[in-house]
Amino acid sequence: MHDCNTSAILLHRIEEKRQLDQAIVVGEQEMQVCKRELVQAFEQWYAAKYEKFSNTNVTSRSPLAASMQMAQTRDSKEQYDMLEAQRFQGDDEAYTFYQARKNAKLRTYGLLSCEDNLNCNDNVVE
């Protein structure tokens, strides 16, 4: 009798999990719809507010939409590297130093080989 109860409880839990998984999928889909609507609303607002300053077609993408689209096509490492490059924007020496130091640390931990980096000897920073 005990096995019958356990099986019924297990089947009930499996059904609950299936329903929760479905709810999560529905929630994620609704979130994507909300994001698209937000971007569309922003693009409409942006076009209405700044069309008089623009020499191009009003349907051109707003900065927010363009950056969101670019972010979606990059993986997390590329996004981080892009943010770091923006942080050093205009200061080439600081960015070069930062990259060299980062590459040296990666080589120290065996995460970067000289084949991965064309300027292996140029980027050694102590």
Check residue 106 and give its pLDDT. Answer: 78
| C-beta of residue 46 within 8 angstroms of C-beta of residue 34 | no
Spell out the domain ranges in the chain: 1-73, 75-126
- Confidence category of residue 19, pLDDT binned at 50, 70, 90: very high
In this model, does residue 114 exceed pLDDT 90?
no
Predicted local confidence at residue 64, as pLDDT = 65
Which element (helix H / strand E) includes 125? none
Answer yes or no: are the C-beta atoms of 56 and 33 closer than 8 Å. Answer: no
pLDDT of 116 over the 60 cut: no
Per-residue HEC secondary structure of 93-124 comes to HHHHHHHHHHHHHHHHCCCCCCCCCCCCCCCC
- In tens, the pLDDT along 29-46 reads 999 999 999 999 998 888
Give the span between the Cα atoms of 18 and 57, in whole angstroms: 48
Average pLDDT, rounded, for the chain: 76
Give the model's confidence band at 83: pLDDT under 50 very low, under 70 low, under 90 confident, else very high: confident
